[in-house]
Amino acid sequence: MKVLPLNPAENASPEALLGFLRQCQSEAREADTEVLVSISITVEAMDPLAVLEAIYEPGHPHFYAEHPSEKTAIAGAEVAMQVSLSGTDRFEALQRWTTGVFARTIAVGSVDAPFGGPHVFVAATFLPEVSAEEPFAALTAFVPCWQVARAGESTTAVANICVGPDSDLEQVSARILRAHTRFGEISYAAPDGPSTPSASPQIRRREAGDFRGRVAEAIGRIAAGEFAKIVLARAIDLETDQTFHPLTALNGLRQRFPDCFSFSIANGRGDSFIGASPERLVRVSRGVLESDVLAGSIQRGSGAAEDARLGAQLLASDKDLHEHQVVLDSVKRRLVALGLEPQHAAHPGVRKLANVQHLHTPVRAALGSEVQLLDTVSMLHPTPAVGGSPQAPAIAAIPALEGFSRGLYAGALGWLNARGGGEFMVGIRSALVRGNRARIYAGAGIVKGSEPEKEWQETELKLNALLEGLLPPS
């Protein structure tokens, strides 16, 4: 990425912008290809979700990710550049694509600000191949035309646009000026069109198959030595008499689950995948990798004493400790295979969310220049926390046992920048929303010692919490 010393906040005249664009076009002509022009400015404090909701267009793809308790959020919409990929080498192919994009990027403005410069947003399904009928491809990545992000008290807005050898620079300049002007003119009036129901909706709920029976079958296959752990999910189809607005529904989720990653990915054709995931797959910042091992669950208590008792029970549970250790060992093996030296505490802690407690072990590793963020995503996804162990036989068994396509459920969702940083979360505690229909997902890890009824209760707890977030009481 080439960074030029132009400050758009101080040189915002059309003449200065045109001069800059002529320079960009000269480079495009020399390379005989289009270049990505990225202009970053710091703006007054904004809520990126409020911005995205105010200018929401169902026909435009968007990506949104937020961690409320960490005071970070990023939103991007409309497409400047994009790619769809599939196959077991999809992350390697994405690395080649992003390297090419950033190599022909010319950036100006607040590039070094938090979330400054162009970002690539990524949504990868659980499996490396999906059918053509699926709403999301096996891997979709795009650079948005605009993005706005908050890190603490800092807010950065970015406009991205392609300039080719024969682009009409007057038209490009006008589009850039309009994009940055609109950040100062955002109207937070109620959006037109559908919204999440304000009155209690009528809900029709349907689930195919017998989850308890599937768990019993999986336990038998574990006993036979086919795999040590497998994660089985439930998919509940909902239909209401009112229409979901995915971003208003997402606001309910982020309020209910402030310690989770709230996310929304829209394909621009009416489908949105939204959720509140407790699990970070990987984050890379300033040469340090972080990953969460989150496996083993128990409900929250109705009071402080009961909550503490349940947390202690979780820490003493042989079944849950075994499930957690399987995931931790797998994550460590995969990172070691990349030449990294993972570090973690000797014993898991308890992470308390709004509705459930998990065994939790944060893992860190120094990241050398020879390993990139997407290398770690490719190696870690899917972890045994959402797939199983050993990986190959467990994942091969999941589609037939579950009886539905996961799509983006338990997929890898995230972003990366031109400096090598980025963050990916695991797409769990999630819903696929379209119009007045939604499919909600939740899963549980099955190991030796699992009991079908307890696993059903665990998934029911997660599903009900998700439903309450999607359809908050009036």
The set of catalytic residues is 229, 279
- The DSSP output letter for 410 is T
Pairing of strands 272-277, 261-266: antiparallel
Q: By C-alpha distance, which of 141, 137, 138, 103 is closest to 120?
A: 141
- The Cα 369–Cα 108 span in angstroms is 25
CB-CB contact of 411 with 125 (8 Å): yes
| Residue 327 backbone phi and psi in degrees, to 5 | -70, -45
How many CA atoms lie within 13 Å of 147's alpha carbon, on the beta-carbon side?
Answer: 33
* 212 contacts 447 by C-beta, under 8 angstroms: no
Q: Which helix (H) or strand (E) holds 237?
A: strand 229-240
d(CA 414, CA 172): 28
**Can you read off the two tokens belonging to residue 246?**
């995915």
For Cα atoms 339, 129, 386, give the angle at the middle one, nearest 5 degrees.
60
How far, in Å, CA of 37 to CA of 31, rounded? 14
Ranges of beta strands (E only) in 251-390 are: 261-266, 272-277, 280-285, 288-299, 349-352, 356-366, 388-389
Residue 43 in contact with residue 157, Cβ under 8 Å? Answer: yes
Residue 159 forms beta bridges with which residues?
Answer: 39, 146
Where do we find the tokens 């046992």? Answer: 401
- Beta-carbon contacts of 51 under 8 Å, excluding residues fewer than 6 positions away, are 75, 148, 183, 186
